[in-house]
Amino acid sequence: MRLPPSAAGRLTLAAVSVFALSVTQVPHASAHGQGGKWVTAWGASQVTGSEIPGSTCPAGSGLENRTVRNVLFVSAGGTGVRVRLANTFGTRPVSVDHVTVALQRSGAAAVPGTLRTLTFDGRRDTTIEAGEDLFSDPVPMRVEALSRLLVSVHVDEATGPVTNHPFTAQGNYLASGDATVDTSGTPYSDTPCWMLVSGVDIRGSARTAGAVVTFGDSITDTASTTGNADQRYPDHLARRLQDRTGRTLAVVNAGLGGNRLLAERDGEPYYGPSGISRVERDALGQSGVKAVILQEGINDIGFSASAEDIIAGYRTFIEKVHAENVPVYGGTLLPFRGSFVWTPERQATWTKVNDWIRNSGAFDGVVDFAAATASATDPLALDPAYDSGDGLHPDDAGTRAMADAVDLGMLLAGPARRNQPRD
């Protein structure tokens, strides 16, 4: 069943199977609503609330009579907004008292006159049941592509551990009490994580054909880039898509730092469920999804997964996406010699995996991120100009090189072979 376009559309996620969601549990979201099509213009993959080593994010302890102000970079523009609240991994209902959306002026401050109160079935307050996501009612609001929104959520009662996105490369904000209507930013202090919000849909213009989901780990999440500057590879891809004439796509970042394709990391819930188990929710659950770029597997290699197991995981991922008649493009894994992950054995696995991505024909197309970011003198290592410093994660220039490697025509044309048998 498709997610209804009305404001009350809910994604019910069975708590007993939250790490093994099926397509029927999290439907391919509808792109159409009253007055135009809905497209996810910002999204972030969610994890269980827990204490995060070295982080001041309060997701593990939860919130009580506090307002979280999330700063969100939207990849496409339009004339209406609806926000998806998330209690995806919560173990009890979360009562939300007040939610607002506004254009960001700077920091926690809003552009005067742009703040809107969101409602849920016509009410200002709502309850998000454990394991659920919930769309707000649509609100008329003109939003420019590549701008930033402030989505502020006040909870009065104690939430317990909060569903969140822990590594954001973006300063977000917390305030005591209900500060949702504040436009000055004065009551707020910094917090590093996004909480209680998993998506923003825009009622798009005619030129926005849908959304491409960039799916992966920290290379896609890219907390290694300059903070508060929107320098992730999906951000650069969004700029390229907006710069072109004619039809374009929104971009949804479904990266999770530390994430593995094949398995969850034991005792480290802040790295999220496996890529295979979250594809229905984090990729196919986005409104108007038209394509997926998969770039994940280096953490599996770091945990000594075999090339054969990773390739089998890719096949499962591809089957899930193709079952919804959506094309999926394979991104080669970035060079990593010189990083803390590298060993000769892992290098051999990397080579087999990238050879398969390039040559198997299992994907609808290939984005050769490895070739785009490799050192000219050592193709097994990152170009020093693209290295954030650890030999593994790209810097701002590296993420731009990744985005430049994506064939926009391929994304917009769709796969010529989508309905053909796949091996």
For residue range 269-294, list pLDDT tens digits in order.
999 999 999 999 999 999 999 999 99
What are the pLDDT digits (tens) for 325-360?
999 999 999 999 999 999 999 999 999 999 999 999
Distance between CA atoms of residues 367 and 217, nearest Å: 16
Is beta strand 208-216 parallel, antiparallel or unpaired with respect to 289-295?
Answer: parallel
pLDDT number for residue 204: 84
Q: Is 235 within 8 Å of 278 (Cβ atoms)?
A: no
pLDDT number for residue 205: 86
Distance between CA atoms of residues 198 and 394, nearest Å: 25
pLDDT number for residue 29: 52
Q: Which pTM does this prediction carry?
A: 0.91
pLDDT number for residue 154: 99
- Low-confidence stretches of the chain (pLDDT < 50) are 1-28, 32-34, 417-423
Fold of 207-413: Rossmann fold (3.40.50)
pLDDT number for residue 416: 55
What are the pLDDT digits (tens) for 228-238?
999 999 999 99
What are the pLDDT digits (tens) for 14-66?
333 333 332 223 344 555 444 569 999 999 999 999 999 999 999 999 999 99
Q: How many residues make up the chain in this entry?
A: 423
Q: Is 314 within 8 Å of 278 (Cβ atoms)?
A: no
- Closest Cα partner for 203 from 287, 133, 135? 287
- Closest Cα partner for 40 from 28, 49, 50? 28
Q: Is 76 within 8 Å of 121 (Cβ atoms)?
A: no
pLDDT number for residue 415: 59
Number of neighbouring beta carbons within 10 Å of residue 417: 11
pLDDT number for residue 325: 96
pLDDT number for residue 404: 99
Residue 297 structure tokens? 């597997």
pLDDT number for residue 14: 31
Q: Which residues have C-beta within 8 Å of that of residue 254, sequence separation ≥ 6?
A: 43, 44, 45, 213, 214, 215, 216, 220, 278, 282, 283, 286
